[in-house]
Structure 1
């Protein structure tokens, strides 16, 4: 089989590898589609502190089960599945409180273990979620990106009276906008970014108000309109954002941090306690695949608004370059594998 391998930072190759056989409790998935995420780019460029090399990257993938290991129901053969990349132990403290996404022995497909940028992948059977017949393949491959937004929103229980401010109109910010509007029906979603084309994507995804903070002061605009956000999602993760979010937030607001900036940030504690602001963080997803599949089935979210490019897997280097460099036109890039 052909597999896309990052041998070392900035060294990406397509290798011939033996066809893997599923062990007990595992299934083999013949990959049909995979999505490129920022973390794939970071592994490729050597910027992901969790990555181990060499690595078959890719943690957003969809395909068909073509082989099963011992103990797996034979009815699963031929099943269309989307794969949850989070593999957890199930018994440590985080797992016991419903947070397998931060398991003390966490393994993430495509990061710590070979992932889905391959013609075939072997995964735990419990991580392969059946896709209903009425969901298109290119929607099924988008389940994982929407689970990130599901995890974010699941932390803060959005309500119809919320005024939400989302920093960043990249893929994660845009999935969050869709979930806030399409699922939770929040009163107002404001998106701030520095790229007009990304802000147009945010409007397409349901944002009520967009602000280019390269051209306009976010604080001045909100003050002018008398807006104090009750829910703030930081999907951009620049070190300066958290303090600004604290200063702009309504009393009793919730703030969620999504990213992995390694730069220090400076905050004024009085701004948090004076308003009794709750600050959350979110990583990966905690058992959100069934929820997102249900949202897709109900038509509450629409992946078509995010998918901008599709490449054959053999063009993966070009695909990643487009993903990295074309921030004005590119949002979600998919790779196709032979049927």
Structure 2
């Protein structure tokens, strides 16, 4: 099969002919119709993830068709249209027994623990636990965003922060996850302040319902506090940087909820979490890591009803031969780039 490969961290990204995978027992191989180009893939390429072994094929945000089925798979057949959360749960550990597949103790992740979906085919584990059937009218490029960015934002806003109508939500970083969070929060009835250093990203945030937009280069906590009349009820770091993490916490009103979505690899510096404010204001500091497959029906129902529009965030569709350049340029252009077949 053809796949995007890197052989050194931060090195060349080239499309090569490599062996196609076989399905593991309980797993499947999916023929990839679309795969997103995500900041997490950039972190893998940079060597920020200890699970990545060279040479490597990135990609974890995908949609496609089941091409081969491993022994023991009961619910899936060749030809089924599917997506999958980026955390592939084992289905057997204590966390999985509690339904918390996104923090599975024995999880695998395509594009991190093994070769990923920037390829013609990708192997996925524990298919009966992890695959999600796609509606026939949902196109692959839109469906691919549900594997990571949009689903991650949905769980962070709706299930972790439990955003309520009328609350103020500050979103720090308006890449794919942040823009998705803006859209989900607005759909929940919240009032949104979007923060970024890119004017183009802020325009896209406004187009998706943000009431206010802020340049992230200024005194963000003071600006958010002023715009919201005392601070945000919920603040999300959707970028994953020391500055945005600290700004997010400092932007909260008393008893507010901070949700960390963006990765904070130690190689890029540790945030200075203001624990004095956490205590004085009785703040909640929460983490959110993807979304379990069994919780997708609520998200898909809102998409089907037109309440959520992930397709509005897909701004570029690229062939596999352009995936390397897009991965190297993550963060330069707003919206979600998706690699599609053809």
- TM-score if structure 2 supplies the norm length? 0.88
Asked whether 1:331 is paired with 2:310, we answer: no
- Give the number of aligned pairs: 333
Deviations 1:66-88 (A, max 9, x none): 22223335862211111223122
CA contact (8 A) 1:25 1:72 kept: yes
Q: Which range moved further: 241-250 or 201-210?
A: 241-250
CA 1:321–1:236 in 2, change beyond 3 Å: closer, same or farther? closer
Cα distance in 1 for residues equivalent to 2:180 and 2:305: 16
Q: Quick one: which of 125, 130, 141 aligns to 2:133?
A: 130
Cα distance in 2 for residues equivalent to 1:133 and 1:224: 42
Cα distance in 2 for residues equivalent to 1:77 and 1:307: 28
Gaps of 5+ in 2: none
Asked whether 1:196 is paired with 2:203, we answer: no
Residue 76 of structure 1 aligns to a residue in which SS? coil
Residue 151 of structure 2 aligns to a residue in which SS? helix
Aligned to 2:119: 118
CA contact (8 A) 1:64 1:78 kept: yes
Deviation at 1:233, TM superposition (A): 0.7
Q: Quick one: which of 273, 292, 304 aligns to 2:279?
A: 273
Residue 253 of structure 2 aligns to a residue in which SS? coil
Deviation at 1:157, TM superposition (A): 1.0
CA contact (8 A) 1:25 1:70 kept: yes
Q: Which range moved further: 248-257 or 268-277?
A: 268-277
Cα distance in 1 for residues equivalent to 2:154 and 2:286: 14
Residue 111 of structure 2 aligns to a residue in which SS? coil
CA contact (8 A) 2:225 2:252 kept: no
Q: Which range moved further: 58-67 or 215-224?
A: 215-224
CA contact (8 A) 2:175 2:334 kept: no
Aligned to 1:230: 233
Cα distance in 2 for residues equivalent to 1:321 and 1:266: 28
CA 1:278–1:217 in 2, change beyond 3 Å: closer, same or farther? closer
Q: Which range moved further: 152-161 or 296-305?
A: 296-305
Q: Quick one: which of 298, 312, 315 aligns to 1:305?
A: 312
Deviation at 1:223, TM superposition (A): 2.7
Aligned to 2:6: 6
CA 1:279–1:46 in 2, change beyond 3 Å: closer, same or farther? same
Q: Which range moved further: 90-99 or 63-72?
A: 90-99
CA 1:54–1:81 in 2, change beyond 3 Å: closer, same or farther? same
Cα distance in 2 for residues equivalent to 1:310 and 1:192: 25
Q: Which range moved further: 308-317 or 97-106?
A: 97-106
Moved over 4 A (4+): 215-218
Deviation at 1:181, TM superposition (A): 1.1
Matches within 5 A, 1:41-52: 41-52=42-53
CA 1:230–1:92 in 2, change beyond 3 Å: closer, same or farther? same
Cα distance in 1 for residues equivalent to 2:66 and 2:228: 53
- TM-score if structure 1 supplies the norm length? 0.89
Cα distance in 2 for residues equivalent to 1:210 and 1:106: 37
Deviation at 1:224, TM superposition (A): 6.5
Aligned to 2:243: 240
CA contact (8 A) 1:254 1:280 kept: yes
Gaps of 5+ in 1: none
CA 1:249–1:218 in 2, change beyond 3 Å: closer, same or farther? closer
Cα distance in 2 for residues equivalent to 1:109 and 1:140: 16
Residue 29 of structure 1 aligns to a residue in which SS? strand
Task: Tell me how large the CA RMSD over aligned residues is.
Answer: 2.3
Deviations 1:288-312 (A, max 9, x none): 4333322222222212321122211
Cα distance in 2 for residues equivalent to 1:84 and 1:247: 31
Residue 200 of structure 2 aligns to a residue in which SS? helix
